[in-house]
Amino acid sequence: MASPSLLDGIDAIVFDLDGTLIDSEKAICAAASLAFRDVGLSVDEAAVADHLGAPLDELYSVFVADADHQRRSHFVSRYLHHHDEHPECDPPPLPGVSAGLSALKARGLLLAVATTKPTSRAAQQLRACGLFSLFGHVQGTDPPMKPKPAKDVVIAALAVLQTAPSRAMMVGDTARDVGAARNAGTRAVVVAYGPHRLILAAKLGADHVLPSLALLV
């Protein structure tokens, strides 16, 4: 069981989706690499993995130094096509996630998701992996919201849960999630799966770094 101080004073927890709750890295990296190929650029999956959590427009800008909006739109369209064709387009929960969320909900905590994905796509993936019913709200980055590390999705989720940021925690796996937590005024927790990611996570400036979501309970 985690230290009693970890959830002390917390009424609600807002979770990132990809890499925090669901094992979506393979589908995202493969789809992005193929979409870059479709716009004439070679970007391997490992390079994409270094930018998980970035919106598609921003991911494109990391590797393509042009202002060709038609080419950018084509990249996004091809990414969505390749992602939805991937055998893991509806990825499973990461280890410990289902049990951890169920235990947190049983403790009376309010749970929400705040993700860079559009709300509709996030909700569909949560339904597919059996997690949707555990959340009081699913908030995607829908226009005109700014993506993390902006606070928009976190604040929107907490508004639905009717919880003040000072009584909330943001749980994610990237610097973007920590930034969103800081900008929203919540506590910041990083969940990092595997030794290499734990080393990287220690440098993100979160209040706590955990090797499993189950350790929140």
**Residue 4: predicted pLDDT:** 53
Q: Does 2 have pLDDT greater than 60?
A: no
Query: Where residue 217 falls among pLDDT bands split at 50, 70, 90?
Result: confident
Mean pLDDT of 66-82: 93
| Contacts of residue 83, Cβ cutoff 8 Å, sequence gap at least 6 | 27, 28, 31, 89
What is the rounded average pLDDT for all residues in the chain? 94
CB crowding 175-199: b at 16 or more within 10 Å, else e: bbbbbbbbbbebbbbbbbbeeebee
Mean pLDDT of 109-127: 97
Q: What is the rounded distance in angstroms from the CA atom of residue 111 to the CA atom of residue 131?
A: 11
Mean pLDDT of 133-138: 98
Task: Tell me which of 2-6, 39-43, 176-180 is least confident.
Answer: 2-6
Token pair for 24? 């979506």
pTM of the model: 0.92
Mean pLDDT of 97-117: 97
User: 4-24+91-216 and 25-85: same fold?
Assistant: no
Mean pLDDT of 188-206: 92
Query: Strands 12-15 and 110-114: what pairing?
Result: parallel
**Top-level class of domain 25-85:** mainly alpha
Query: Where residue 3 falls among pLDDT bands split at 50, 70, 90?
Result: very low
Concerning whether 18 is annotated as a catalytic residue, the answer is yes
The full set of domain ranges for the chain reads 4-24+91-216, 25-85
Quick one: fold of 4-24+91-216? Rossmann fold (3.40.50)
Among residues 8, 16, 44, 142, which one is catalytic? Answer: 16
**Residue 66: predicted pLDDT:** 81
pLDDT tens digits, 23-53: 999 999 999 999 999 999 999 999 999 898 8
Mean pLDDT of 177-185: 98
Q: Does 1 have pLDDT greater than 50?
A: no
Mean pLDDT of 57-79: 92
Concerning whether 177 is annotated as a catalytic residue, the answer is no
Mean pLDDT of 3-18: 89
Mean pLDDT of 169-176: 96
Among residues 8, 18, 44, 68, which one is catalytic? Answer: 18
Mean pLDDT of 135-152: 97
